Amino acid sequence: MKRVKLPFAGLEVEFADRERGIQQVLEWAERGTWQPVVVFGPEGCGKTAWLKQAAETLRESGFEAIYIDPMRKEFVAHTDARELIDKLAEAAAEAIGVAQLKLATLAIDAVKWLVSKWRKGKVAILIDDAFQAIGLDKAAIYVKALLGLVEYPPEGYERIVTIVATSEGVS
């Protein structure tokens, strides 16, 4: 498995020591997630690093994997759906506040587009700090929208993995 390299205090650090977390991602890759998985933990505990490694692991397992961090206006798209990549890049370039909301919303649209428009069978969406971007008051609605994609997809699919991370910080 390819290990992602992450910037940390002016260094480039290879992802390590999260074998159980990666094993869980591989289990989800085998069967999909039947509901959105919400990962909660203190700021700085490694959720972002784990999500980035999870995106790489899912890509290696044949998924169209999209990692979105609305708060940092950052995304990694492991897909050949050029139009989707362009939309994500356009949203990330928006002004502070607008970009975060657009990226969080595009995460849901990305699953719809990958399944219906581009007929991708294995789709993974990993959203970092989503609740900080949309507001804690909208967290339940956001998770329900992701659940709707799993339960009532726009088209048939083989597997969907949805993971949302949030922290004790702003949320």
81-130: pLDDT as tens digits:
999 999 999 998 887 788 888 898 888 899 888 888 878 889 999 999 98
Alpha helix ranges (H) inside the chain: 19-31, 47-60, 82-92, 98-112, 130-134, 139-151
pLDDT recorded at residue 85: 92
| Least confident stretch, 5-9, 34-38, 69-73, 105-109 | 5-9
Strand partners, 128: 165
Helix, strand or coil for residue 154? coil
Taking the model in full, what pTM does it have?
Answer: 0.85
Q: Answer for the pair 130, 142: CB distance below 8 angstroms, yes or no.
A: yes
CB 78 within 8 A of CB 63: yes
Q: What is the CATH number of the domain that holds 116?
A: 3.40.50
The strand pairing partners of 124, in sequence order, are 65, 161
Euclidean distance between CA atoms 168 and 101, whole angstroms: 20
Domain count, the chain: 1
Please give the residue range of the domain that contains residue 34. 5-167
Cα–Cα dist 51/106, whole Å: 17
On whether the CB atoms of residues 42 and 92 are closer than 8 A, the answer is no
